[in-house]
Structure 1
Amino acid sequence: MSHPNEGVGAPTPVVSVSPVVLPAPGRGEDLQVRVSAPVAGHELPVIVFSHGFGWSMNGYAPLVDFWAACGFVVVQPTHLDSRTLNITPDDPRHPEIWRFRVADLRRILDQLDVVEAAVPGLRGRLDRGRIAAAGHSWGGQTVSALLGARVLDADGVPGEDMSDPRVKAGVLLSTTGTGGADLSPFAAEHFPFMSPSFADMTTPALVIAGDRDQSALTLRGPDWFADPYHLSPGPKSLLTLFGAEHSLGGIAGYTVTETTDENPERVALIQRITWAYLRSALYPTDVSWAVASTELMQSADPLGRIDSK
């Protein structure tokens, strides 16, 4: 296989501004976001990125920096579960943090004017018809709600539809699968909302899962993280990464101590594959996804495999 990021073009310098504060009545804290954008280009597509548990707008630089250098405007909220906010389980907002997370992403879409104005030189350069959402771990579940996934109640009845038609495509990284009997006792007790139905997740999405991602949240194996692909209607694609654990080689940051499977080649592949997928999902005539998929499949020593439906 050629270099994982061959073909994406020369990177554009990136400007990153934080915190950008979005008023959030009823949240208890205004919503802080980081905005990363290429210094050049017009009609720029947008990615809203939802971090994993405990993280913040300052994480995931390997992905965010790459996407922005390749022409996307990336907006990262700091959700209420962030360690930087230190909200404890006795906080009245705690049981509903998963809902606040989804609301955070919607708020960003509602306030793109504020986001645009906060970055010098960005005004008028967004393509608001080409918006994608991406998330890792809990962030993946958050994003899945915007794509049409719904949380089942204790009786298995789907909850409210939180899908957002402004989001045209999604990327779900290490995103948890079904709940109920699949959850560990710990997860069932502490995360009752971790019981999604993907039956209505109709928005096109790329699901990325590690085949060694063994989670304490489930009684199943790593295949749990492929549920968002297998249990949702097409069009969907699944990238299964060989040997990858929950951090997928280190996407949360450079030299992050939580990374148990550090692998720069794997991270480079994720950069390339996610960029190619979103390019082709948002621009139907773009062949980047077909090219990247073919390269991976034809590699003598592939880092993963792609399935599509």
Structure 2
Amino acid sequence: MPNSNVANTQRFVTAPTTVVSAKPVVLSAPDRGEDLQVRVSAPATGGDLPIIVFSHGFGWSMNGYAPLADFWAAHGFVVLQPTHLDSRTLGLPADDPRTPRIWRFRVEDLKRVLDELDVLEASVPGLRGRLDRGRVAVAGHSWGAQTASTLLGARVLDSGGVPGEDMSDPRVKAGVLLALPGRGDDLTPLAAESLPFMNPSFDDMATPALIVAGDHDRSALSTRGPDWFTDPYFLSPGSKSLLTLFGAEHALGGVPGYEVAETTDESPERVALVQQLTWAYLRSALYPEDTSWRAARSALEEDPQPLGKLQSK
């Protein structure tokens, strides 16, 4: 029998529709050393479609995260998934001269996707003219969440603790950040030495966002426990919500894909909850009159044995 937590939240989600998808859509990127490949997924019908640009975790590609991308597209969003340079499908060697700047290339990938909406829109038959370019969100998992967070206002601190370049993007109105790493001063010595870009400041991450963390997510990069992944919620200003998933590890039950080897906490019910709550959050964040998020929060709060808990500020 399905967990009542999931059953309750299903009440506010719209019925799924047929999805059309195109890949790879290739965007010219001469300064990147490799053209940018993107997957475009969209509902087969409907107009004024809001947009989600999704950044994958380390090693993944536009082909991953089907549990999220397919769900969002089937419920009214156009989902754009670029393949970053760290993808295993590209096979960049560790000594590639671009490696130290891959984190910046990732951010530029997301911005390039937004710059090239005309090209992406034309790649899917029948999609032209159906995008609502005023309703754009970013989302990401793990390293992808850090990438997405920079468009929301997070900044990388230098070795002296001074915030680096502001790479926020005014086109982005909301975000979903899944398993987003926390403060850089809690990195292990090896991580601090080899991954200096993992030293974020959330002081200026003011764009509304839902942060999703697992209470069993223990990173080898951090000296802290699962609470490290809640830093983005507690240390950022503005309208934020935190979904803490009980029993969830870094894959949050399996959001990268179905039956993938690195999912050590596989839970279809947990993934279903993430699908529904992220959808509801983005619907309400992009459409202030929409009540989906309010209904979802009430459903979760009413459940006596929830899969997770919500906090908002």
Quick check: TM above 0.5?
yes
One-letter code aligned to 2:95: D
The equivalent of 1:303 in structure 2 is 307
Unaligned runs of 5+ in 2: none
Q: Secondary structure at the match of 2:300?
A: helix
One-letter code aligned to 1:43: D
CA distance in 2, matches of 1:13, 1:75: 17
Query: For 1:277, which of 268, 277, 281 is the aligned residue?
Result: 281
Unaligned runs of 5+ in 1: none
Native 8 Å contact 1:5 1:271 kept in 2: no
For the pair 1:95 / 2:100, whether they are aligned, the reply is yes
Q: CA deviation at 1:190?
A: 1.4
Native 8 Å contact 2:153 2:206 kept in 1: yes
For the pair 1:260 / 2:260, whether they are aligned, the reply is no
Q: CA deviation at 1:217?
A: 0.4
Native 8 Å contact 2:12 2:296 kept in 1: no
CA distance in 2, matches of 1:6, 1:69: 16
The equivalent of 1:189 in structure 2 is 193
CA distance in 1, matches of 2:71, 2:183: 31
For the pair 1:286 / 2:290, whether they are aligned, the reply is yes
CA distance in 2, matches of 1:295, 1:160: 40
Q: What fraction of aligned residue pairs are identical, expressed as a percent?
A: 72
Which 4+ residue blocks in structure 1 deviate beyond 6 angstroms?
Answer: none
CA distance in 1, matches of 2:190, 2:17: 45
CA distance in 1, matches of 2:11, 2:188: 42
CA distance in 2, matches of 1:75, 1:158: 29
The equivalent of 1:156 in structure 2 is 161
The equivalent of 2:213 in structure 1 is 209
The equivalent of 1:137 in structure 2 is 142
Give a deviation string over 1:113-162, Cα, whole Å, max 9, x none.
00000000000000000000000000000000000000000000000000
The equivalent of 2:44 in structure 1 is 39
For the pair 1:115 / 2:120, whether they are aligned, the reply is yes
Q: CA deviation at 1:6?
A: 2.9
Give a deviation string over 1:158-216, Cα, whole Å, max 9, x none.
00000000000000000000102x00122112111000000000100000000000000
Q: CA deviation at 1:5?
A: 2.6
Q: Secondary structure at the match of 1:53?
A: coil
For the pair 1:68 / 2:89, whether they are aligned, the reply is no
CA distance in 1, matches of 2:114, 2:170: 11
Q: CA deviation at 1:9?
A: 2.1
Q: Secondary structure at the match of 1:117?
A: helix
Give a deviation string over 1:238-258, Cα, whole Å, max 9, x none.
000001000000000011111
Q: CA deviation at 1:109?
A: 0.2
The equivalent of 2:182 in structure 1 is 177
One-letter code aligned to 2:197: F
The equivalent of 1:167 in structure 2 is 172
Native 8 Å contact 2:142 2:178 kept in 1: yes
CA distance in 2, matches of 1:9, 1:97: 38
Query: For 1:233, which of 234, 237, 244 is the aligned residue?
Result: 237
Native 8 Å contact 1:151 1:159 kept in 2: yes
CA distance in 2, matches of 1:9, 1:149: 32
Give a deviation string over 1:210-241, Cα, whole Å, max 9, x none.
00000000000100001110000020000000
* Number of residue pairs the alignment of both structures matches: 308
Q: Secondary structure at the match of 1:228?
A: helix
For the pair 1:223 / 2:227, whether they are aligned, the reply is yes
